[in-house]
Amino acid sequence: MKAILLMAGMWLGAPGQPAVDPGSYVQQEESWRRERQARLKADGGWLTVAGLFWLKPGANSFGADPGNDVVLPGHAAPARAGRFVLEGGHVRVEVRPGAGVTRAGRPVTRADLRSDADGAAPDVLALGPLTMQVIARGARLGVRLKDRESAARRDFKGTRWFPIRTEYRVLARFVARAAPEKIGVPTVLGTVEPMPSPGTLTFQLGGKTMSLDPVVEPGERELFVIFRDATSGRTTYGGGRFLYADPPRDGHDDVVLDFNRAYSPPCAFTRYATCPLPPSQNHLHVAIEAGELDPEQGR
């Protein structure tokens, strides 16, 4: 990777920056970026997401015929494969004979389907290279379609990144909230989702003090930071970027924020994702020239 601004063979650690061994640090970052790209391209990765269909109460037909409510790719599905039935906030699938739909490797004709509500693992229906699962977003339930043979996956040319720079790996002070609090996180759907925020991260970058409010996803411990900065919509994705950090441990209040691992949300790769957006307090008025570049820029 060209233009990596590190001093080989020395330990680096300016005030507010945790010390790192440049050689091993670069290797770790490059390995992380390769894994990030592999997850995007994997079976079931975001590059395979090919559709999102919000269900109406009652029957919702699915198949390759354009007259269906849930329209599947013609290369992999019969014209009419069955229907999803939404009743009382629950979804069941009813499959036409011979359609070839399976769940957990077994043929399915009629079954109640678990959604991804509250972080649960949803039931996954398979049909050749296609999979379908029910997602819950607020009061709405929808069917997310994935296609292992999608054009986005086939034509993917890889991710692009800023050069790795140690000054963007900073030590933040975690200030816990006196009481549990949920903050409003906007989404691309136009909704605002309350998410638990355990505290505030305060750090220095380029001689300026700034802060970010992380949230915690259901069933997780990592701090999840959704932010935008002066690069958003220019060299990085306009909807902001994501960054994860380990929570403080052993009574300490230090958290490492590695902006070299800031990455584009799924909405940068598919219009069928339901991404959260940065809350207003996470809008930084400085350019964080680290992490993943906008996948649509420079192609």
Residue 7 scores a pLDDT above 50: no
Residue 6 scores a pLDDT above 80: no
Residue 18 scores a pLDDT above 80: no
Residue pLDDT, tens place only, 150-169 = 999 999 999 999 999 999 99
* Number of CB atoms found within 10 A of residue 22's CB: 18
Question: What CATH number does domain 46-147 carry, 3.90.1640.10, 3.30.465.10, 2.60.200.20, 3.60.20.10?
Answer: 2.60.200.20
Q: For the chain, which residues make up each domain, given as ranges?
A: 22-43+157-282, 46-147
Local confidence band at 298 (pLDDT 50, 70, 90 cut-offs): low
Rounded alpha-carbon distances, angstroms, from residue 148 to 19, 64, 274: 42, 16, 20
Residue count of the chain: 299
DSSP annotation of 162 = P
Q: How many Å apart are CA 282 and CA 142, to the nearest integer?
A: 29
Residue 14 scores a pLDDT above 60: no
Rounded alpha-carbon distances, angstroms, from residue 174 to 141, 191, 215, 223, 248: 36, 28, 12, 11, 7
3-class SS of residue 289: coil
- Residue 299 or residue 179, greater confidence: 179
Q: Is 268 left (phi over 0), alpha (psi -120 to 50) or beta?
A: alpha
Find the helix or strand (DSSP H, E) in which 23 lies: helix 22-41
Residue pLDDT, tens place only, 201-257 = 999 998 999 999 999 999 899 999 999 999 999 999 999 999 999 999 887 899 999
Phi, psi of 31 (to 5 degrees): -65, -40
Residue pLDDT, tens place only, 20-52 = 777 799 999 999 999 999 999 999 999 999 999
Tokens of 14: 């300016």
